[in-house]
Structure 1
Amino acid sequence: MMRNIVRALISGVAISAAAATLPASAWADTLFGAMEKAYITNPTLNAARAGQRATDELVPQALSGWRPTVGASAEIDKTYANGPVGVDVDGDIVRDSSDQFSGNLAIQLNQPLFRGFGTVNRVKGAEARVDASKQNLLGTEQQVLFDVVQSYMNVYAGRQFVVLRRQDVAALQAQVRAARDRFTVGEITRTDVAQAEARLAESQSLLVNAQSDLASAVASYVQVVGQEPGKLNYPKVVSIPNSLKTALDIAGGINPQLLAQAFVEVARGNDIKVAFSNLLPSADLVATGVRDDPDLQKEDNHSNSFQIGAQLSIPIYEGGLVYSQVREAKQLASQSRIQVIEVARSVRQAVAASWNEYVGLAQIIRNTRTQVRAAQLALNGVQQEYQAGTRTTLDVLDAQRDLVQAQVLQVTAERNRVISGYQLLANIGHLTATEVGLKVPVYDPDENYRRVRNKWIGTDVKTVE
C-alpha cells in the first residue's frame, strides 16, 4: 500500500512537471482565487492552526492551579489464620483455620488556597503565550499567502519566458536559413553562417532552461495551492500605504512578528514571578473521608471518619535551586526585551527595503517598456539594412538578442513589482485574509480558546481537518 501511495505522489509531480510544457489550460486562475484555495487547504497553515489550538490549552492548565483535586484510594486484604484453640478429651491440641477479609476506602479533597501568587502569574504568562501564538499564526498565514503570490507570479512569468524563448528560437532558425541561402549565392561568408548557428544553439539552450524553470515553478505552485495552475491572469497592482512613514507606523502597530515577540516578553516577565512564588508560603485546605471495615464478612462492623484541616508550607531553604530559577527567569526576560528591539529593527528594515523596491520597480517597468519598443524598432531597421547589404549577420543577431533581453527584463520587472507589493503588505502586517479581502470563511483562533479556557473536565476536542 505504501508503494502505491508513493507512486501516486510521484505521478502527481510528474503530471505537474509535464503540464508546465503544455499550453495553458482552458480555465483561468486569479491570484485571489489561488490564495483562497491555499487559505483553506494549505497543510502548513492548517498545521499551524492545530498547533495554536494546542497552545490554547496552556491557559486551562494554568487555571487548574485554582481548582481542587480529588483522589480516592481503596485497599482490601485477606488474612489466613491457623492456630490452636484448645485440647480435646484425648489430650490432643485442637487447631482452627479461618479466613478474614478487611477493607479500607479513603477519599481526599485538596483545595489550594495560596501559592505565593504563582497561579495568578502562571495564568497571565499562559495568556501572553497564547496571544504570542496567535500572532505567530498570523505570520504563518501571511507567509503562506505570500508563497502563493510568489509561485503564482513565477508560473505566470515562466510561461512568458518560454514564449519569448520559443519566438527567439523561431526567429534565429529563420535567420540561419537565410544566412545559408545567402552563403550559397556568395553574398556572405561561412563565418556569418557559423555566427547564426551558434546564436541559435545558445537560444535553444536558454529555451530548455526556461522550460525547466517553469516546471519547477509549477511544482511549487502545486505544493502551495494544492492544484495545477490553469490560465493565469496578470493581477492588479495592490494598494499600499501612500508613504514610507505610514507603512512604518502601521508595521509598528500590527506586524505579527513584532507583536509575538512583545507577548513573549510579557510572558517572560510573569515567569519571574512564578519562579519567585516558590520562595513564598503555600496553603491548602484538605478534607479526607475514610471508611474502615476490619471484617467484611460481618455486618455493621465498619467505622467512618471525616477530617478537614488547613496545611501551611513555608520554604526555608531549597538548596539554592529556586534562587537559581529566579535568576534564570530574569535573564530570559532581559533576553526577550532585547529581542523586541531586534525584531523591531528587522521589521523596519524589511518594510523600507520592500517599499523602495516597489517604488523603484515602477520606474524600471516604464524604462523596460521603452527599451522593448526601441529594440523592436532597431531590429526592424537592422533587418532592412541587412537586406540592403549595409549590415552584417552579426548586427542582426545582436539586435535580436537585445530585443529578447529587453522583453525578459520587462516581464521580470512586472513579476517583481507584484511580488514586492505583496511582500510590503506582509512586512506591514496586511497580507491576511481579512485585510486582503479573500472570500473565504475567516479562521477565528478565539473560537477554540473560548471553548477550552474554562473547561474543567473532558477529553473531547474539535481538531483542524
Structure 2
Amino acid sequence: MLRRLSLALAVASASSGLAWAEEAPLSAKTDLVSVYQEAVNNNADLAAARADYQARKEVVPQARAGLLPNLSAGADMSNTRTKLDQPSNTANRSGTVYQATLSQPIFRADRWFQLQAAEATNEQAAIELSATEQNLILQSAETYFAVLRAQDTLASTKAEEAAFKRQLDQANERFDVGLSDKTDVLEAQASYDTARANRILAQRAVDDAFQALITLTNRDYNAVEGIKHTLPVLAPTPNDAKAWVDTAAQQNLNLQASNYAVNAAEETLRQRKSGHAPTLDAVAQYQRGDNDSLGFSNTGTSLPGQEPFGGDVEQRSIGLQLNIPIYSGGLTSSQVRESYQRLNQTEQLRESLRRQVVESTRNLYRAVNTDVETVQARKQSIISNQSALEATEIGYQVGTRNIVDVLDAQRQLYSSVRDYNDARYDYILDNLRLKQAAGTLSPADLEALARFLKPDYNPDKDFLPPDLAKAAETSLRSSPEY
C-alpha cells in the first residue's frame, strides 16, 4: 500500500516529535475576560485618560465661580509722616487698616455663557473617556487574538516543517535505492530549510505577541486559552447596512463627543459676543483702621461743629457697580471673529468624522459578511488542498508527478491552513470593530466570546478543526485517482 503524507500525520509529527512543541501548564493559561480586566486595572493609557478627564471636568466649577459671590479680606500697615510749613511742625503716625470686600455678580452674560461652554466641554470629556474605555475592549481582544493567531501560525509552520522533513527523508531513501536523482534530494532539502527558517520567524512572532499582551496589562503570561472551532460564524444581526449606519450615527461615542465640542464652540462664541454687553455687580465693603491710613486727618476735614477725626475709623459701604464697555482696542471684535472660525472648524471636523464613521461602519458590515463566506471557503480549501497533496504524492510514487509538484502541493496546503485561521480571527475582530463603530461594543461581547474558549487548547493539535483530516480522507477515496 502506498504511503501517503496526510495533514493529520504532519500535525502529529509536529506536536510530538519536535523539541520546541512544549505546552505551558494548563493552570498558567489565562482567558480573554481576565486579560481585559487586567488591562482595565493596569493599562497606562487608560489611567492617563482618566486623569485627563478628572482634570478637564474642573472647568465647570472654575466657570461657575465667576457667577458666585467673591469675598476677600486683607490688612494694610503703613507709616505716615506729615510736615507743615506754617506753623513749622512735623508729625509721624503709623496705623493698620483691616478691610473685607464682598462682591456678587448680578448681570454677567459672558460668565454665564462661559459656564454653558464648560458644561458642554465636561460632557465631551466624559464621552471621550468612555470612548477610550470602549477602545480598550477592542484593543484587549486584538492583542489576545494576535497571540492566538501567532500560535496557530507557528503550529501550522511546525507541521509544514515536519512534512518537508518527512519528504526529505523519503527523497533520501529513494535516492539511496536509485529511484530518484540528486535533484529531488536538493529540492526537498531547500524546501525543508525554508520551512525551518519560517518556523523560527513564527516563534519570534509568538514571543512578540505575548510581549504586546504584557505591555497592555503589565502582567506576564505563559499561555492563553484558544478559541474553539465550534464558534458560530454568522452574519451580523441585523443583517442590514443601513440599520448599522443609523445606529452608529446615534451611538458612536466619538461622534457624540464631537456634538458636544460643537456645543462648547457655540457657547464660547456667545461668550465672546457678550463682551460688548454691560456688567453689573453688587459690592459691599467694610474697613477699620487708623484715620490717617483711611485718609481723613490728612486733609483736616471734619464734620460741622466737630474736631477733626482722631483715633481709629470704621467704614461700611454697599452699592452697585455698572461697567459699560465702549472700546477695548478691537479685542472683543477680534475674539468674536476667532470664535466664529473655531465654531466653523469644529462643525467641519464633526462632519468629517460623521463621514468616516459611516464609511467605517459600511466597510466593517461588508467585511463581516465577507468573513462569514471566507471562513467556509478557506475551510473547504484545506480539504481540497489536502486531497490534492495526497493525490500528487500518489502520482509521484507511480512516476506521473515529480517532487517539485509534491513540494508545491505541500506549500499550498499549509498556506491554506494559515489563510483559514486568519479568516477566523478576522471574523471575530471585524465583528467587534463593527460594534465599536456602531457604539454598542461592551464587555459583554468579550464574555460572549469567552464561552467558546477552550482551557486545554493546544495550538499544535487544535489549530485545525478535528473533522478536516477525516473529510479530506473521504474526499480522496471518492476521487478517480485513488
> What is the TM-score with the length of structure 1 in the denominator?
0.81
- Quote the sequence identity (%): 27
Pairing of 1:217-366 with structure 2 (within 5 A)? 217-229=209-221, 230-234=223-227, 236=231, 240-293=237-290, 301-366=311-376
Give the 3 Å change call, closer, same or farther, for CA 294–321 of structure 1 in structure 2: closer
Give the 3 Å change call, closer, same or farther, for CA 247–81 of structure 1 in structure 2: closer
Matched with 2:427 is: 417
| 2:397 partner amino acid | Q
Give the 3 Å change call, closer, same or farther, for CA 196–168 of structure 1 in structure 2: same
Pairing of 1:86-105 with structure 2 (within 5 A)? 101-105=94-98
Is the Cα contact below 8 Å between 2:175 and 2:185 reproduced in 1? yes
Matched with 1:6 is: none
In the aligned structure 1, how far is the partner of 2:258 from the partner of 2:146?
Answer: 32
Give the 3 Å change call, closer, same or farther, for CA 310–81 of structure 1 in structure 2: closer
Structure 1 residue 240: Cα displacement: 4.3
In the aligned structure 1, how far is the partner of 2:393 from the partner of 2:217?
Answer: 45
Deviations 1:198-239 (A, max 9, x none): 111111121122112222211111112332343322175696
In the aligned structure 2, how far is the partner of 1:48 from the partner of 1:319?
Answer: 40
| 1:263 partner amino acid | Y
In the aligned structure 1, how far is the partner of 2:21 from the partner of 2:216?
Answer: 20
Is the Cα contact below 8 Å between 2:141 and 2:446 reproduced in 1? no
Q: Tell me the secondary structure at the aligned position of residue 360 of structure 2.
A: helix
| 1:208 partner amino acid | I
| 2:23 partner amino acid | P
Give the 3 Å change call, closer, same or farther, for CA 373–33 of structure 1 in structure 2: same
Structure 1 residue 80: Cα displacement: 8.7
Pairing of 1:56-455 with structure 2 (within 5 A)? 56-77=57-78, 101-115=94-108, 117-229=109-221, 230-234=223-227, 236=231, 240-293=237-290, 301-433=311-443
| 1:42 partner amino acid | N
| 1:67 partner amino acid | L
Q: Tell me the secondary structure at the aligned position of residue 303 of structure 1.
A: strand
In the aligned structure 2, how far is the partner of 1:206 from the partner of 1:228?
Answer: 26
Moved over 4 A (4+): 78-82, 97-101, 235-240, 434-438
Structure 1 residue 98: Cα displacement: 10
In the aligned structure 1, how far is the partner of 2:44 from the partner of 2:181?
Answer: 61
Q: Tell me the secondary structure at the aligned position of residue 26 of structure 2.
A: coil
| 1:210 partner amino acid | A
Is the Cα contact below 8 Å between 2:80 and 2:292 reproduced in 1? no
Is the Cα contact below 8 Å between 1:103 and 1:294 reproduced in 2? no
| 1:107 partner amino acid | A
| 2:260 partner amino acid | F
Where does structure 1 lack aligned partners over 5 or more consecutive residues?
1-19, 83-96, 439-465
Give the 3 Å change call, closer, same or farther, for CA 326–305 of structure 1 in structure 2: same
Where does structure 2 lack aligned partners over 5 or more consecutive residues?
1-19, 84-89, 294-309, 449-482
Give the 3 Å change call, closer, same or farther, for CA 240–45 of structure 1 in structure 2: farther
Deviations 1:157-206 (A, max 9, x none): 11011111111111111211221121122211111111101111111121
Is the Cα contact below 8 Å between 1:119 and 1:274 reproduced in 2? yes
Structure 1 residue 301: Cα displacement: 3.1
Structure 1 residue 79: Cα displacement: 6.8
Give the 3 Å change call, closer, same or farther, for CA 122–25 of structure 1 in structure 2: farther
Is the Cα contact below 8 Å between 2:124 and 2:260 reproduced in 1? yes
In the aligned structure 2, how far is the partner of 1:21 from the partner of 1:110?
Answer: 78
Deviations 1:130-151 (A, max 9, x none): 1111221122112221111111
In the aligned structure 2, how far is the partner of 1:436 from the partner of 1:264?
Answer: 31
Deviations 1:97-118 (A, max 9, x none): 9985421111111111111x11
Is the Cα contact below 8 Å between 1:21 and 1:215 reproduced in 2? no
Is the Cα contact below 8 Å between 2:32 and 2:446 reproduced in 1? no
| 2:59 partner amino acid | L
| 1:281 partner amino acid | P
| 2:406 partner amino acid | V
Deviations 1:246-302 (A, max 9, x none): 111110101011111111111111111100111110011111111113699xxx932
Matched with 2:11 is: none
> What is the TM-score with the length of structure 2 in the denominator?
0.78
In the aligned structure 1, how far is the partner of 2:38 from the partner of 2:288?
Answer: 63
| 1:215 partner amino acid | D
Give the 3 Å change call, closer, same or farther, for CA 47–29 of structure 1 in structure 2: same
| 2:103 partner amino acid | N
In the aligned structure 2, how far is the partner of 1:158 from the partner of 1:30?
Answer: 16
Q: Tell me the secondary structure at the aligned position of residue 278 of structure 1.
A: helix
In the aligned structure 1, how far is the partner of 2:213 from the partner of 2:380?
Answer: 32
Deviations 1:42-83 (A, max 9, x none): 22112212211111111111111111111222122357999x
Q: Tell me the secondary structure at the aligned position of residue 324 of structure 1.
A: helix
Is the Cα contact below 8 Å between 1:21 and 1:211 reproduced in 2? no
Matched with 1:47 is: 48
In the aligned structure 1, how far is the partner of 2:51 from the partner of 2:428?
Answer: 31
| 1:320 partner amino acid | G
Structure 1 residue 22: Cα displacement: 5.5
Deviates most, 168-177 or 375-384: 375-384
